[in-house]
């Protein structure tokens, strides 16, 4: 039985593409920040569309001599997958071509002036704490239409369209104002991550209820170990996600849908207040305010040193910290414990979604090359290589078959199988209403630090959501699932 706003396992399999896997380690699984939606301001600037070519090997009519510029967010996935794999595949397709590669964590700082000056890079991996407002870029006509990409021949099977080689969730999440403008490339699992080897050595069970969770916090405290650590500077949105997914655990996915759809009083819903309250209480009793002064990487190092038990993050964490993982540490995923006896979603529900978005600049110097670059990314060679380099999965069906997956990702696969139809949906307002999301990351800092009450947090977020809803200059998006 499902509740309004929740999806069935069959729907999930269609949307996330899990049917592509065969039996073996991580069986049932395919492959971090989604943007999607329909509706909106009909006066928004039209997306630039590239005319199709008759050549299936060059469907966008790329000028082989034209340089290409690629900007990658160098976060949890790094940038080697682009520099050493995707760009090399592009050069193989167009021998002699020049590619300018830039890796940065300051996407907004570096790229905003360039978009304003119509000097945008051809391909942008728009991710991280400084991710740009894609709805605003779309409204200004800066994003190329990706419909020709999805309708183009697949690199691997020219008789098959690209859209038929990826999980349908890609197409659901591609839209801004009804247009296909964004490619979400990875599949991620966001929950609580812990050291399975530590738990095994201590004889600790992963807590299934909030009472068990806090009891473990008391036991760990005696050994000088934190139950939970706030992700600090650069990572507060991890905790915002954690609170929202806890709210969905309590009240069902309709909580997330209402927030995304700017429904009146969505932020004041009781499950949201409960979620903020329990996490603020955990921080006060079992956390350490010193972590507010650390960046997320420093906190993740402390996690590897067993100074804390649970950390709220996505499945990219294993690759991000791969060089620092000690022999006595093994990443594993833990679902959010039952907060109440009446939670709408049972224990084991986890969040699974597509993310890590890529766009092509409509006003760039080589939009045709940008589309071809994405088409190469969506080839099995491009997708499989990404998984091998990052130990994370992509949206390309079957591309990760036979890849040796790390322990954390296998753990996530098992958790997803155990969750069945109880998948927590992704919150899309992050990409739709960046001002609201950025404000949320500020407010989660304040409430987790104990400077405002959970009720005040909810009231502040609702006030900001109401202001955005009333602002006619902001294109509105809607979702039904």
pLDDT in tens, 294-337: 988 999 999 999 999 999 999 999 989 999 999 999 999 999 99
The Cα–Cα gap between 479 and 481 comes to 6
Report whether pLDDT(49) > 80: no
| Residue listed under structure tokens 């080589």 | 366
**Half-sphere CA count of 50, side-chain side, radius 13 A:** 32
The Cα–Cα gap between 343 and 349 comes to 11
**CATH domain 9-187+352-406+417-424 topology:** D-Maltodextrin-Binding Protein; domain 2 (3.40.190)
**What's residue 300's pLDDT?**
96
Residues composing the chain: 481
The Cα–Cα gap between 19 and 167 comes to 9
Q: Identify the CA nearest to 267 among candidates 447, 135, 421, 451.
A: 447
Q: What is the pLDDT of residues 261-284, one digit of tens each?
A: 999 999 999 999 999 999 999 999
The Cα–Cα gap between 79 and 99 comes to 14
Q: Identify the CA nearest to 319 among candidates 375, 403, 376.
A: 403
Of 336 and 235, the one with more pLDDT: 336
Region of residue 232 (phi > 0: left; psi between -120 and 50: alpha; otherwise: beta): left
Question: Does 9-187+352-406+417-424 match 189-347+428-470 in CATH topology?
Answer: yes
Question: What 3-state DSSP class applies to 7?
Answer: coil
Residue 425 tokens read as 């949906």
The H or E element spanning position 419 is helix 407-419
CA 343-347-352 angle, to 5 degrees, is: 100
Q: Helices marked H in 420-473 — which ranges?
A: 429-432, 434-448, 454-470
Q: What is the DSSP letter of 444?
A: H
Residue 161 tokens read as 């369209």
**What's residue 56's pLDDT?**
86
The Cα–Cα gap between 248 and 259 comes to 11
**What's residue 46's pLDDT?**
45
User: What residues contact 7, with CB distance under 8 A and at least 6 apart?
Assistant: 15, 253, 421, 423, 425, 481
**What's residue 402's pLDDT?**
85
pLDDT band at 42 (very low <50, low <70, confident <90, very high): very low
The Cα–Cα gap between 40 and 44 comes to 8
| Architecture of the domain whose range is 189-347+428-470 | 3-Layer(aba) Sandwich (3.40)
**How many Å is the Cα radius of gyration of the chain?**
22
The Cα–Cα gap between 383 and 160 comes to 17
Mean pLDDT of 143-165: 96
pLDDT band at 34 (very low <50, low <70, confident <90, very high): very low
Mean pLDDT of 440-451: 96
**What's residue 50's pLDDT?**
64
**pLDDT, averaged across the chain:** 89
Based on DSSP, count helices (H) and strands (E) in the chain, helices before strands.
20, 12
**What's residue 32's pLDDT?**
34
The Cα–Cα gap between 44 and 191 comes to 36
pLDDT band at 51 (very low <50, low <70, confident <90, very high): low
Contact 365, 69 (CB under 8 A): yes
Q: Helices marked H in 333-428 — which ranges?
A: 367-377, 380-390, 407-419
pLDDT band at 48 (very low <50, low <70, confident <90, very high): low
Mean pLDDT of 4-18: 38
User: What residues contact 403, with CB distance under 8 A and at least 6 apart?
Assistant: 384, 387, 388
The H or E element spanning position 358 is strand 350-360
Residue 346 tokens read as 């049972």
Q: What is the pLDDT of residues 56-77, one digit of tens each?
A: 899 999 999 999 999 999 998 9
CA 173-178-181 angle, to 5 degrees, is: 55
CA 243-246-252 angle, to 5 degrees, is: 130
Contact 234, 129 (CB under 8 A): yes
**What's residue 233's pLDDT?**
80
**What's residue 225's pLDDT?**
97
Q: Identify the CA nearest to 275 among candidates 191, 212, 348, 339.
A: 339
pLDDT band at 7 (very low <50, low <70, confident <90, very high): very low
Q: What is the pLDDT of residues 163-199, one digit of tens each?
A: 999 988 899 889 998 899 999 999 989 999 999 999 9
Region of residue 37 (phi > 0: left; psi between -120 and 50: alpha; otherwise: beta): left
Q: What is the pLDDT of residues 88-129, one digit of tens each?
A: 999 999 999 999 999 999 999 999 999 999 999 999 999 998
Report whether pLDDT(52) > 80: no
**What's residue 401's pLDDT?**
84
Report whether pLDDT(258) > 50: yes
**What's residue 28's pLDDT?**
31
Residue 288 tokens read as 């350490």
Please state the φ and ψ torsions of residue 311, each to the nearest 5 degrees. Answer: -135, 130
Contact 290, 269 (CB under 8 A): no
Domains in the chain: boundaries: 9-187+352-406+417-424, 189-347+428-470
The Cα–Cα gap between 83 and 101 comes to 7
Q: What is the DSSP letter of 291?
A: G
The Cα–Cα gap between 420 and 54 comes to 43
Question: What 3-state DSSP class applies to 220?
Answer: helix
The Cα–Cα gap between 469 and 481 comes to 20
Contact 242, 413 (CB under 8 A): no
pLDDT band at 232 (very low <50, low <70, confident <90, very high): confident
Please state the φ and ψ torsions of residue 378, each to the nearest 5 degrees. Answer: -90, 10
Beta bridge partners of 329: none
């Amino acid at each position: 039985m499902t509740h309004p706003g929740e999806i069935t396992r069959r729907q999930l399999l269609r949307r996330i593409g899990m049917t592509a896997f065969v039996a073996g380690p991580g069986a049932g699984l395919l492959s971090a920040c989604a943007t999607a939606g329909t509706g909106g301001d009909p006066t928004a600037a039209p997306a630039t569309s590239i005319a199709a070519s008759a050549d299936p090997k060059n469907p966008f009519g790329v000028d082989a001599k034209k340089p290409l510029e690629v900007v990658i967010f160098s976060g949890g996935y790094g940038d080697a997958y682009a520099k050493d794999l995707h760009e090399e595949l592009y050069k193989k397709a167009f021998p002699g071509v020049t590619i300018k590669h830039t890796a940065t964590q300051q996407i907004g700082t570096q790229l905003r002036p360039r978009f304003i000056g119509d000097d945008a890079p051809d391909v942008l991996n728009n991710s991280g704490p400084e991710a740009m407002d894609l709805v605003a870029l779309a409204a200004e006509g800066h994003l190329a239409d990706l419909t020709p990409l999805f309708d183009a021949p697949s690199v691997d099977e020219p008789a098959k369209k690209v859209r038929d080689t990826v999980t349908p969730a890609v197409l659901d999440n591609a839209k801004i104002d009804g247009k296909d403008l964004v490619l979400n490339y990875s599949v991620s699992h966001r929950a609580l991550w812990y050291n399975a080897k530590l738990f095994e050595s201590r004889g600790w069970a992963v807590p299934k209820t909030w009472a068990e969770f806090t009891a473990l916090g008391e036991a760990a405290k005696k050994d000088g170990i934190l139950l939970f650590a706030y992700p600090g500077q650069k990572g507060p949105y991890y905790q915002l996600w954690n609170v929202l997914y806890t709210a969905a655990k309590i009240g069902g996915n309709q909580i997330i849908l209402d927030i995304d759809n700017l429904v009146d009083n969505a932020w004041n819903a009781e499950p949201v207040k409960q979620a903020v309250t329990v996490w603020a209480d955990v921080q006060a009793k079992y956390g350490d305010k010193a972590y507010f002064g650390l960046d997320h990487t420093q906190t993740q190092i402390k996690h590897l040193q067993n100074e804390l038990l649970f950390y709220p993050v996505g499945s990219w964490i294993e690759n991000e910290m791969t060089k620092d993982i000690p022999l006595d540490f093994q990443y594993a995923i833990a679902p959010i414990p039952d907060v109440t006896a009446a939670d709408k979603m049972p224990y084991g529900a986890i969040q699974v979604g597509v993310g890590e978005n890529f766009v092509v600049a409509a006003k760039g110097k080589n939009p045709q090359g940008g589309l071809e670059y994405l088409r190469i990314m969506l080839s099995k060679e491009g997708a499989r290589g990404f998984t091998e380099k990052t130990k994370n999965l992509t949206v390309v069906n079957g591309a990760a078959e036979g890849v040796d997956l790390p322990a954390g990702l296998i753990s996530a696969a098992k958790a997803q199988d155990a969750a069945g139809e109880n998948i927590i949906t992704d919150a899309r307002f992050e990409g739709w209403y960046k001002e609201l999301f950025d404000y949320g990351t500020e407010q989660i800092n304040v409430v987790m630090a104990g400077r405002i009450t959970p009720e005040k947090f909810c009231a502040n977020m609702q006030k900001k959501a109401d202001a955005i809803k009333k602002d006619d200059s902001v294109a509105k998006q809607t979702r039904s699932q």
